[in-house]
Chains A and B, each alone.
Chain A
Amino acid sequence: MTMTTGDPETLRAQVRAWLQQNVPHDWRAAMTGTGQDSFVRAQREWFAKLVKAGYATTHWPAGWPGGGRSLAEQRVIYEEVARADAPRLILFFVALYHAACTLIEWGSEEQKQQHLPDILEGRIWCQGFSEPNAGSDLASVRTRAERRGDRYVINGQKTWSTLAQFADHCLLLVRTDSSGPPQAGLTYLLLDMRSKGVSVRPIAQITGDDEFAEIFFDDVEVPVSDRIGDEGQGWAVAQSTLASERGLTLVELTLRMRYGLARIASLMRERGVSDDPALRSDLGRLIPKVNAACALADRYLLKRIEGTEAPGDASIVKLNYARTLREFTLLGLRISGLQGQYREDFTRGGSQETGNWAVDFMNSYNWSIAGGSDEIQRNIIAERMLGMPREPKNWQLPK
């Protein structure tokens, strides 16, 4: 395990050297046109390497392997990971961030001891929040949990759960009470995906992949001891789950997008359109937007380090990234011309800019819809940052 405190530049040199030696050089080729099984295998191998080096869990508190890094140090590590074009730990994202951060903030000592070491061993988690009728309006979750003695009995359905078909555990938001305001009746459970009555059905996506899944619950029993927080506290717990990824991920992704600009340049060369003034002008318009998205993510992290983050700041970063990524991938697709309309194998585990521009473009919607859609971000910016009034709550369906 590598552990440094102090000079971030010493750490940078260490991380850079480690990545040079350890990032599988041919990983993009190996992950292009491959099935999910070899993707899962490759993710496990890369995850194990990062855990061993102490780079997978830098955001965990001190006392846990790899943990106790300052935000400034984490930033350095993320910058280097982006620079090295290392695979993204997509399969372990929910485990490392959502599950771990929720457990650390809200879990009992037993729950932490039970689950955190397992995450380091490679246990996969998925998130069971969204439902067919609870997307942006998360408080309207309907999946029921009925208390029977020392168990909850779950019935209902979750959807948009990333890679749930591979998950060992699920972060589950359920309704235990329908009498009061919607937020007040929610409870947060940790579900073993092997429990009787759980079934997972992958959803075919517009890319042809099935990265998301639906999860169905048919009288699934969950021990009360697997509840996080109190009954009725689920909304507050879910807020920390959703806040866990903000900041560092977008520092990494915006930087990857900046490095990804080189792919546009090589695409222009390959297509023989490097001298096309209209495309050059489009590229010239895109570059400052990409740099601005990086600057925003970076400055947001600095605000978090200083403790000066304000309401809406995170939404500004995400909205800019999502809009710029859409434009970026769309430019790639346009430069690809008719060629870009022919189906081609896609790369798994890459960032948002893999060079398969049609797929990259389709996947860019992940960032404008998931994790609070652009529209939700605009509400947050307007209401919490600009002080514009909230929608009236008493809307009635017209008779």
Chain B
Amino acid sequence: MSPELIELRDSARQVLGAGGLSADESKTWSQALELGWLLVAVPEGLGGLGQGLAGASAFYAEFGRSLNAAPYVPAMLGIDAVCHAARADRANWLERLTTRDFVTASLGDARLAITNMSGGKPTLRGTVSAVPSADRAAHVLVCSADEACVALVPMAQAGVERTSRPTWDATRRLFDLRFTDVEIDSDLILASGSEAQALSRRLATHRDFALASDAVGGASAVLDMTIEYLQTRRQFGRPLALFQALKHRCADLKAQVCAAEALLLDSLSRVGEALETVDAETLGRGAKFFACSVYARVAEEALQLHGGIGMTAEHTCHRYLKRALLDEQLGRGDRYALDIADAFLGGL
């Protein structure tokens, strides 16, 4: 990490930390706009901070660490899409998206059909799930299943139907979006053809790295919290942290968190800014799958190690656990292990 990025990250940690765990969505959102956090990955040439994906990752990890509820990841995906679309009005869009309007995007693996791409009136059909804070969004970013089109769709447009899907993870507000013959405004197409393929892949890989970073931040925080609890809680006349059975479990969890973090940082440095390549896709999937598995296992153990207090709604344990379990299912969910094997066996 560059000294500049470390400084940015530390200030984000301070602001997010001061807001407390699971801080209110709209409050953090206005802070993010005000402090320029949405500009982190925007290239300097476009008026951003030029910290790239590694910079964005550091922020995602901070949001994960503090269980923050603001829809920072989908907003960053929307901004990344605009940055990498060859459009004359890009500067205008970037100004809107980094200072006022919120574009959301699915954190799942959408299956959308766009017909009539060549016939003049491209039409969108299908359902996407896991769209955060869609009720606050001006637009939603969509990628067609055949990777032939990436576009923005106004949430207010006829044929866009929104269903709230409350999740066990209370730090996210997810929606399903159903598109019934929604005509796409040609002005809102960010990419089509081979450019759309590259952009779709870029965005999927960006999403995977974002989820991996959220998981690394969360896993690290929930483990720290657990160790602190074991240090203070006394039973049998001694701190729980003195029991070797518990120490060894914490050491194993620490080893896993360090491994997930090392894989994430190593993969980020290998990818650089070339997110649209097949190599980047493979690295992103590996980092996402591993980090989210580790987060879920660490959060699962954390609750057990807290004992009864961990079962209370008041304690933070369950919030980490629920966010971890949701993170694990986001992106390509259960398919990562096979994806990784396919890429490996196919690449030999």
Contact = CB atoms under 8 A, between A and B. Distances in A.
A274 B255 contact: no
Interface in B228-270: 230-231, 239, 241-242, 244, 247-248, 250-252, 254-255, 258-260, 262-263, 265-267
Interface stretch (A5-13, A209-217, A353-361, A374-382): A374-382
Interface in A17-63: none
Interface residues of B, number: 37
Given A291-B286, A378-B251, A388 B241 contact: yes
Contacts of B344: 261, 265, 283-284, 287
Q: Which interface residue of B263, B265, B339 has the most chain A CB atoms within 10 A? A: B263
Interface in A346-399: 375, 377-379, 381-383, 385-389, 391-392
A288 B341 CA distance: 10
Given A298-B266, A381-B251, A388-B227, A265 B338 contact: no
A320 interface: yes
Q: Which interface residue of B230, B247, B251, B340 has the most chain A CB atoms within 10 A? A: B251
Q: Which interface residue of B244, B247, B262, B266 has the most chain A CB atoms within 10 A? A: B262
A293 B260 CA distance: 9
B255 A320 contact: yes
Nearest to B252: A378
B209 interface: no
Given A287-B286, A287-B341, A262 B348 contact: yes
Contacts of B336: 284
Nearest to B239: A389
Q: Which interface residue of A284, A289, A316, A379 has the most chain B CB atoms within 10 A? A: A284
A285 interface: yes
A319 B253 CA distance: 11
A283 B344 CA distance: 9
A386 B241 CA distance: 10
B42 interface: no
A265 B263 contact: no
Contacts of B230: 388
B338 A388 contact: no
Given A382-B251, A388-B231, A388-B247, A292 B345 contact: no
Given A280-B341, A295-B265, A288 B289 contact: yes
A383 B247 contact: yes
B251 A285 contact: no
Contacts of A307: none
A277 interface: yes
Nearest to B348: A265
Contacts of B97: none
Interface string B100-130: 0000000000000000000000000000000
Interface in B290-348: 290, 293, 336-342, 344-345, 348
B210 interface: no
Interface in A264-310: 265, 268, 274, 277, 280-285, 287-289, 291-296, 298-299
A281 B248 contact: no
Contacts of B289: 284, 288
B340 A295 contact: no
B251 A295 contact: no
B261 to A, nearest CB: 9
Interface string A225-261: 0000000000000000000000000000000000001
B248 A375 contact: yes
A192 to B, nearest CB: 41
Nearest to B340: A284
B250 A386 contact: yes
A365 to B, nearest CB: 18
B337 A291 contact: no
A316 B254 contact: yes
A387 B345 CA distance: 43
A347 B345 CA distance: 25
A291 B259 CA distance: 9
Given A316-B254, A378-B252, A388-B230, A291 B247 contact: no
B231 to A, nearest CB: 7
A389 B242 CA distance: 5
Contacts of B262: 292, 295-296, 298-299
B60 to A, nearest CB: 18
B287 interface: yes
A262 B347 CA distance: 10
A289 B254 contact: no
Contacts of B287: 288
Q: Which interface residue of A289, A295, A379, A389 has the most chain B CB atoms within 10 A? A: A295
A378 B251 CA distance: 5
Contacts of B293: 285
B342 to A, nearest CB: 7
30 contacts: A280-B345, A284-B340, A284-B342, A284-B344, A287-B286, A287-B340, A289-B290, A292-B259, A292-B290, A295-B262, A296-B258, A299-B262, A299-B265, A299-B266, A316-B254, A316-B255, A316-B258, A319-B252, A320-B258, A320-B259, A378-B251, A379-B244, A379-B247, A381-B254, A382-B248, A382-B250, A383-B247, A385-B254, A391-B242, A392-B242
Interface of A: 261-262, 265, 268, 274, 277, 280-285, 287-289, 291-296, 298-299, 316, 319-320, 323, 375, 377-379, 381-383, 385-389, 391-392
Listed from nearest, the 7 A-B pairs whose CB atoms lie closest are: A284-B337, A295-B266, A382-B247, A284-B341, A288-B290, A378-B251, A381-B251
